[in-house]
C-alpha cells in the first residue's frame, strides 16, 4: 500500500482520475464503433476521411463527417417518405378493390368484431333528481323574499374499493 498523503496514494484513490480514464475509454470506443458502423452501412462511406486525415486535419475531417451524416439523413428521409407513400397507395388500392368487388370496408380483426370494430357510445339518459318545490325569484314565503334557488342534485355514493382497486 502506498503511504497516506503520497502521490501514489492520491493517484490510486482519486475519483476524478478514474472517472476521466473511464469516460475517455468509453468515448473513444463509442467513436470507433460509430465510425466503423458508418463505414460499413453508409452509402456515402467513400466520402469519409481516412484515419490519417483525422490526425493531420482534424477540423476538416470532423466537418466532412458531419456533411456525410447530413447526406445520410437526407437519403434515409427520402427512403422513409417513399415507403410511407407506397403504403398509403397500397391501402388506397385495397380500398378501391374492396369497393369494386362489394367486400366490406372493415379490414383485419376489426371485421370479426361486432359493429365492425367501431366503438358504440352508450346512450345516457339524463337523470332527473327529485326536486322539491322551488320558489320563483322574488316570490315571498312567510313574509321573506326568496332569492334564486337551484335544484340540488344528489351526489352518488362513491364505489367501494376492493384492495384499493375499483
pLDDT value at residue 29: 97
Residues of the chain with pLDDT under 50: none
pTM of the model: 0.48
Mean pLDDT of the chain: 81
The per-residue pLDDT for 165 is: 74
Find where cell 417518405 sits.
81
Rounded Cα–Cα distance for residues 143 and 4 (Å): 96
- The rounded distance, in Å, linking the Cα atoms of 23 and 32 is 14
Residue 145 phi/psi, 5-degree rounding, is -75, 125
Closest CA to 137 of 123, 126, 147, 125: 147
What pLDDT is stored for residue 156 in this prediction?
Answer: 80
Secondary-structure percent of the chain, ordered helix, strand, coil, rounded to 5: 55, 5, 40
The gap from C-alpha 145 to its chain's centroid, in whole angstroms, comes to 60
Q: For residue 166, what pLDDT is reported?
A: 62
Helix (H) or strand (E) holding 144: strand 144-145
Q: What integer pLDDT is reported at residue 162 of this predicted model?
A: 76
The pair phi, psi for residue 162, each rounded to 5°, is -115, 115
- Please return the burial class of 69, using the count of CB atoms within 10 Å of its CB with bins 0-12, 13-18 and 19+: middle
Cell of residue 11, nine digits: 493517484
pLDDT on residue 104: 76
> Is residue 107 within 8 Å of 113, Cβ to Cβ?
no
Amino acid at each position: 500500500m502506498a503511504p497516506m498523503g503520497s502521490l501514489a496514494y492520491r493517484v490510486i484513490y482519486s475519483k476524478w482520475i478514474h472517472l476521466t480514464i473511464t469516460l475517455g475509454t468509453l468515448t473513444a470506443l463509442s467513436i470507433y464503433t460509430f465510425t466503423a458502423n458508418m463505414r460499413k452501412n453508409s452509402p456515402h462511406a467513400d466520402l469519409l476521411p481516412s484515419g490519417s486525415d483525422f490526425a493531420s486535419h482534424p477540423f476538416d475531417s470532423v466537418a466532412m463527417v458531419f456533411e456525410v451524416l447530413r447526406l445520410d439523413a437526407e437519403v434515409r428521409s427520402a427512403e422513409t417518405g417513399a415507403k410511407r407513400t407506397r403504403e398509403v397507395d397500397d391501402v388506397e388500392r385495397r380500398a378501391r378493390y374492396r369497393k369494386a368487388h362489394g367486400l366490406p370496408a372493415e379490414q383485419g380483426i376489426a371485421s370479426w368484431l361486432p359493429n365492425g370494430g367501431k366503438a358504440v357510445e352508450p346512450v345516457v339518459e339524463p337523470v332527473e333528481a327529485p326536486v322539491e318545490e322551488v320558489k320563483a325569484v322574488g316570490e315571498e314565503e312567510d313574509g321573506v323574499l326568496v332569492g334564486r334557488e337551484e335544484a340540488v342534485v344528489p351526489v352518488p355514493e362513491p364505489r367501494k374499493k376492493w384492495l384499493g382497486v375499483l
